[in-house]
Amino acid sequence: MADLKINFAGIKSPNPFWLASGPPTNSGYQIMKAFDAGWGGAVWKTMGLPVVNSSSRYAGIDFGDTRMMGFSNIELISDRPLSHNLKELEEVKKYFPENPVIASLMVDTREEWHRVVKDAENAGADGLELNFGCPHGMCERGMGSAVGQEPDVLKLIVSWVMEVATKPVIVKLTPNVTDITDSAIAAKEGGGNAISLINTFQSIMGVDIDNFTPYPVVDGKGTNGGYCGPAVKPIALNMVRNCAQSPYIGLPVSGIGGVSNWRDAVEFILMGASTVQVCTAVMHYGFGIIRRLTSGLSDYMDSKGFANVSDMVGKALKNTVAWEDLNLNYNVIAEIDNKKCIGCMLCYAACEDGAHQAIGIGSNGSRVPFIIEENCVGCNLCSLVCPVEGCITMVESKSNTGFESWKDRTASGNIPKTFDDPLAGGLSHRVTEIEKALRKMK
């Protein structure tokens, strides 16, 4: 059976699943309950000068039957006194010595950073996470993402922390930047031992169109908040990949952003994360989701022959290349399984109006559409809209020739160089002539 134990920048954990800093890690009671359920580690709700929060403070976006596909908050860091948090942290460590507790910290001056780092370490924290990501409320006070967006300031503050820290220091990055690797490089140059990403995206979740107020509404007014949950996972994955692939970083990565099930976690690990952190999914479903997370990961590792989590970290990176390195001679075309088709015509509408007019209808009075192979560019759209699993598959075209990338074609001069160049890729695709199109519209 797979071994889920990990060592993240010197922090040992029974499994790679950590609670991200947030409401589920607000108190010792919650963190002990989570460890008891099976969570590997926990990053305490960010501590600093206690704040005062607003009511209400959360908003969600539903999609179809799925509630909270996206989630937003205007909550600040911990509103509890530092001494209360640290006393409870000490207690948690007494009862759960094997589970790492990471102290998330956010303060302002060098003196304050020195003080909170020492206090957190004295309380028994196994590591420190520096919150340079909060994109609302705290940034207006010169902290959180205000630091994360300024690599020089980030580097300086990490170096202040490193002056006194004896435990591993994880730098938590904001996604509200143009290139997150700039922040990660600054974290490394400042002396940080690891990075975690992402924190939330600055956002406006929606607007109450009757009362003209953004959500969440606080006594008739609203403000921008931090966006997270399943909807942000693709962006987080790309940022994790960018940091894990950069030759200038080389720090362990803790992946965060929309992890809701074991598959999400596996994807983050394959993209280079050595731990994954979860916040919204726990706020939605509770600590119990850990059972499926660990069993799913363990079964996956067994099925793939991975003995340890570290064996699978970054496994998908070698197949994640720049666009210019993709094989332009490779073609797929759509294939419809007539037996599975329910005749809904979604694929026809999508391809006809939104793609390449490569799906025909009305053959022998049948409601099953057919693929016009010479028009199909293999874009995938029809297979994505088809509501029946396995009904439209993309199959390799028989006309595939040898590998040739854009880089190769550029090197051999085999690329379009003028606006009307005969090498334009689209010249081989059939486009309905204007006259015929007008006749069709009549």
Interface positions with ligand FMN (CB under 6 A): 20-23, 45-46, 71, 73, 75, 77, 104, 131, 133-134, 172, 199-200, 228-229, 232, 256-259, 278-281
Smallest distance from the beta carbon of 414 to ligand SF4, in angstroms? 24
Beta strand extents in 132-173 (DSSP E only): 169-172
345 binds ligand SF4 (CB under 6 A): yes
Among 191, 296, 378, 416, binds ligand SF4 (CB under 6 A): 378
With contacts defined by CB under 6 A, name the span among 157-165, 185-193, 305-313, 340-348 that binds ligand SF4. 340-348
Burial readout 213-235 (b: 16 or more C-beta within 10 A, e: otherwise): ebbbeeeeebebbbbbbbbbbeb
Judged by beta carbon, residue 203 or residue 383, the one nearer ligand FMN is 203
Interaction of residue 379 with ligand SF4, rule CB under 6 A: yes
List strand residue ranges (DSSP E) for 257-357, in order.
Answer: 273-278, 332-336
CB of 431 to ligand SF4, least distance (A): 12
What does 172 interact with, of ligand FMN, ligand SF4, none (CB < 5 to 8 A by kind)?
A: ligand FMN
To the query of whether residue 134 is one of the catalytic residues in this protein, the response is yes
Q: Please name every residue paired with 119 in a beta bridge, in sequence order, or none if there are none.
A: none
Q: What does 336 bind: ligand SF4, ligand FMN, none (CB cut-off 5 to 8 Å by kind)?
A: ligand SF4
Question: Of 130 and 334, which CB lies nearer to ligand FMN in the complex structure?
Answer: 130
Query: Which does residue 45 bind out of ligand SF4, ligand FMN, none, counting CB within 5 to 8 angstroms by kind?
Result: ligand FMN
**Beta carbon nearer to ligand FMN, 57 or 315:** 57
Q: Which does 391 bind (CB under 5 to 8 A by kind): ligand SF4, ligand FMN, none?
A: ligand SF4
- Asked whether position 250 contacts ligand SF4 by CB under 6 A, the answer is no
Rg (alpha carbons) of the chain, rounded to whole number: 26
Q: Which is nearer to ligand SF4, 265 or 386 (CB)?
A: 386
Could you tell me the end-to-end alpha-carbon distance of the chain, in angstroms, rounded to an integer? 66
Tell which residue, 135, 68, 134, has the closest CA to residue 281: 68
Q: Strand, coil or helix: what is 317? A: helix
Residue 278 interacts with, from ligand SF4, ligand FMN, none (CB under 5-8 Å by kind): ligand FMN
Q: Based on CB atoms, which residue is closest to ligand FMN, 14 or 24?
A: 24
Per-residue mark of binding to ligand SF4, 298-337 (x: CB under 6 A): ------------------------------------x-x-
Output the CA–CA distances (angstroms, integers) from residue 185 to 164, 191, 278, 380, 428, in the order listed.
Answer: 21, 10, 24, 37, 45
97, two tokens: 């010595």
Rounded to a whole number of angstroms, the minimum distance from the CB of residue 71 to ligand FMN is 6
Question: Which of the residues 134, 228, 351, 386 is marked catalytic?
Answer: 134
Q: How far apart are CA 113 and CA 116, in angstroms?
A: 5
Does position 360 bind ligand SF4 by CB under 6 A?
no
Q: Is 361 in the site for ligand SF4 (CB under 6 A)?
A: no
Among 153, 328, 344, 415, binds ligand SF4 (CB under 6 A): 344
**388 makes contact with ligand SF4 (CB under 6 A):** yes
In the numeric block, the tokens 């922390």 are attached to 161
186 and 155 Cβ atoms separated by less than 8 Å: yes
- Nearest-approach distance from CB 378 to ligand SF4, in angstroms: 5
CA distance 324 to 44: 42
Tell me how far apart the alpha carbons of residues 49 and 52 are, in angstroms, rounded to a whole number: 10
Nearest to 229 by CA among 291, 282, 183, 184: 282
Give one word for 212, left, alpha or beta, with left for phi > 0 and alpha for psi -120 to 50: left
Binding of ligand SF4 at residue 255 (CB under 6 A)?
A: no
- The 3 state secondary structure assigned to 77-104 is CCCCCHHHHHHHHHHHHHHCCCCCEEEE
Angle between helices 262-270 and 233-245 (to 10 degrees): 30
The closest alpha carbon to 104, from 149, 143, 156, belongs to: 143
Return the number of the residue (183 or 375) whose C-beta is nearest ligand FMN: 183
Could you tell me if 63 and 69 are in contact, meaning their C-beta atoms sit under 8 angstroms apart?
yes
**Binding stretches for ligand SF4 (CB under 6 A):** 334, 336, 341-347, 350-351, 355-356, 358-359, 369, 371, 376-382, 386, 388, 391-392
Residues labelled as active-site residues: 134
